[in-house]
Amino acid sequence: MNSLTFEDPELLKPLGKRKWPSLRIWRYWLDEHGETVTAVGDKESFTYTARATQTGGTKKFDLSGSLKTLNPESTSLESKAASIIYGSADDLTLSSLIVKQDSPKTEDHPDIIDLLGEWGGTWMWDKLEYDKDLQWLSEALTAGLLVCVTDGSYDRARARDVSGAGWIIYCVRTGRSMRGAFAERSKSASSYRGKLLGMLAIHLFLLVVEESGGMEGGKAEVHCDNKGAIYTFEKTGKRVPAGSKNADIQRVLRRIKARMKGKQSRHHVKAHQDDYKWRSQLSLAAQLNCVCDDLAKDAVKEASFAFDDDGLMKDNRTNRLSLELASLMIGTTKQMTDVSKDLCYLIGKARAKLPRIKTGVILGEAFELVQWDDLRSALDQKPRMYQLWYAKQGSGYCGTGKNMKQWQMTNNSRCPNCNKPKEDAAHLNVCRSKERKQLLQRSICEIEVWMEEHNTHPDIIEFVPLYLAYRGDRALASFDWMSKGFRAAAEEQDIIGWRNFTEGKIAERLRLSQEQFLLAQDTRLTIDSWMRGLIDQLLSLTHSQWIFRNITKHHSVNGTIQLEKRESVLKEIERQLDLGMGSLPEESRCLLEIDTTDLRRGSSKDQQYWLFAIIAARQAAEAAMSISNGKTKSWTSICKDKRYEEAKSQTPLPDNTDNEQRPVPDADKKPADGPTPRAPAASQPAKGRSRKKARVTSALELAEEAHGAHPV
């Protein structure tokens, strides 16, 4: 102090003008003319007037009166603060003056929460936990005292399309914290996306703290237990590559980096350390990571049970992220990566709607009620040819009798089983054939067994098999004793129709009823897996009917087409027998010296062999008569005569007789003199054989049982 002052308490060099208001409460104020001093007291205030005759030096003031009590902090009549040395009780001596300083003008900055709301994506901040005063965030960010930790969660078993994120911002000096959690539904849901969302939430909040406080920068530590997420947030790039995964998060991150002035250091923290240590033994970042993990799991669990007022699952997959200026929607699905797959699917769905409505396959209202995404998911697992069959069956352009006749590929439009004319695609599952009914019943029993094994809603187990068994003669909602919620689902399914149900077209509310039931069960089965399983069972029911129908019609031995061919063979055999031996050479007459009963009951192969042999013998006889000018019918004699060595073979193909189709030799066909070897019974499939293979075997067995006993 001695180096700054004289012997008296006086600075060697004045400090100059004050830049900021003094914290002292001034009691004496001199007016702008320098004539009056106001002394502000707690209970009473006094005024002093300058003496009329004064010469240089200090200035004295005499008591002139009193005023009402004034607030020394709010006194604004005077412009100068005064230091006073008392001379006596009734006068004052002015010692020094300080020019009154106005408070500096400060910029108005928006509130942190209000600014977050302006950025959009408010669903990300619904579960914020914080103090009303958030000023500590700006101070801690400036001082570099913030530790930010995040974690993500994903439960494939219970919520396949939900990603959860939890995050904490913690001040190491004061111990104050701010935390949040949220869940997002999307087709791109995963544990990795949950961690990216948590990292994004932290960076968004650090940015809003900067901009709301008008800060020029700051420092913070950001911890995450996923190195891939850390790498994503550390890399720099001017553009987000087309088709990259989680492109929406990357676009928002690019915008954050362009605006953020502070610096963040990102660190990896090992996950789930509390599995083998007490949390009190962990580092601060590890402890906060465990808390974030709990927050993220709770968010996923809550989202799994979140329903709106209509009883439908809440879905925020159409919501934008905070600071996401634009998003691409295809239908109701936000695109987060390459759009080509979903775009092709939506275009195909739109193109398929009008033709199906025009042909009467499905009503316009029913088309919108179908869970097409689940049907698409089930068909994606099928072979290409299976998908082709389903497209033909669902559109009605399959190879039924009606279509085949219309395409001029056959003259017979009847069902090969029940003989009903004009067989179409709708007839497939309602055929009145005894064998087809038996197959349908077996398929329904297998569906019921599957339902019981896969945590199915009791009403679905009770009424869906009955609904299938009635084959469209009775509506699903017409059954009694079903719950109120399921009745609404049944009414919606009735709009779609029985035939469409057997082709895997399931109503949205029926899916919802099953989803709510699964969430209440102790199972890892998801609604998506259950829906794929049910659709697969329904498609197997329809496909087995198609297999049975085709085996009946196209079986190599006992199919209806083959039976028609064999009938024409028998007619030709009768005609050859009626012709007798007159036109046969002697060496070939043995063909008529056989037991005709054995010939008629013989195999198709033997019948064709005999028929072609006798036709060839008659043609050889005709050729011999022509070459020998009627002298002999024996082709053997012709061959022995050297004069006929130069004769060329002129054996033509046999002509049709009476417009009937001549049989063609088929050496690969199996004889009909015994039943075809059968596979193990489908009702009890052999060990290691899938239910799907057993279903196909079931159709094969019933077809062979139905047609194996036909007369040859």
The whole-angstrom separation of Cα 152 and Cα 484 is 38
Closest CA to 197 of 332, 301, 305, 319: 319
SS3 readout for 599-654: HHHCCHHHHHHHHHHHHHHHHHHHHHHHHCCCCCCCHHHHHHCHHHCCCCCCCCCC
CB 161 within 8 A of CB 374: no
**In this structure, what are the phi and psi dihedrals at residue 575, rounded to the nearest 5 degrees?**
-65, -40
Give residue 590's pLDDT. 80
Chain center to CA of 268? 31
Phi, psi of 84 (to 5 degrees): -120, 135
Q: How, if at all, do strands 219-224 and 263-268 pair?
A: parallel
In DSSP notation, 419-466 reads --SS--GGGTTT---HHHHHHHHHHHHHHHHHHHHTT--HHHHHHHHH
Beta bridge partners of 167: 150, 180
Sign of the alpha-carbon dihedral angle for 34, 39, 44, 46: negative
**What is the Cα–Cα distance from 163 to 186, expressed in whole angstroms?**
8
Q: Tokens 């995450």 — which residue?
A: 224
pTM: 0.58
Q: Which residues pair with 220 in a beta bridge?
A: 146, 264
Q: How far apart are CA 181 and CA 195, in angstroms?
A: 11
- Which segments of 480-526 does DSSP mark as H helices, in order? 484-496, 498-502, 508-519
Per-residue HEC secondary structure of 514-539 comes to: HHHHHHCCCCCCCHHHHHHHHHHHHH
Question: Per DSSP, what are the bridge partners of residue 93?
Answer: 60, 85
End-to-end CA distance of the chain: 130
Q: For residue 106, what is the DSSP state?
A: -
95 contacts: CB under 8 Å, gap ≥ 6: 58, 82, 83, 84, 85
The Cα–Cα gap between 287 and 291 comes to 7
The token duo for 330 is 């295809």
Rg value, the chain, Cα = 47
Per run of 10 residues, the mean pLDDT along the chain (length 712 residues) is 59 60 66 77 77 71 72 52 65 69 52 87 89 86 93 85 93 92 89 94 93 85 94 85 84 91 92 91 93 93 69 57 84 77 83 83 87 91 92 90 89 89 92 91 94 94 94 91 90 93 93 89 87 94 91 66 67 80 77 75 76 82 79 74 58 46 42 39 41 47 47 30
Q: What is the pLDDT of residue 291?
A: 94
**SS3 (DSSP) at 472:** coil
CA atoms of 345 and 377, how far apart (whole Å):
12
Centre a 10 Å sphere on the Cβ of residue 415 and count the other Cβ atoms it contains: 25
Residues 514 and 533 sit within 8 Å (Cβ to Cβ):
no
pLDDT of res. 8 = 58
- At 94 the pLDDT is 74
3-class secondary-structure state, position 387: helix
Structure tokens at 2: 């001695």
pLDDT of amino acid 85: 63
Distances 83 to 26, 29, 43, 70, 189 between C-alpha atoms, Å: 9, 9, 20, 18, 72
Residue 687's pLDDT is 41
C-alpha–C-alpha distance, residues 658 and 497, integer Å: 48
H or E segment and range at residue 232: helix 227-234
Give the per-residue SS3 of 335-346.
Answer: CCCCCHHHHHHH
Contacts of 662 (CB under 8 A, 6+ apart): 568, 572, 654, 655, 656
- Domains of the chain (ranges, CATH numbers): 1-105 (no CATH), 112-304 (3.30.420.10), 339-556+687-703 (no CATH), 560-644 (no CATH)
Q: Residue 66's beta-bridge partner residues?
A: 46
Tokens 């309602």 sit on residue: 430
From residue 100, give the alpha-carbon distance in Å to each of 11, 22, 87, 245: 21, 9, 25, 62
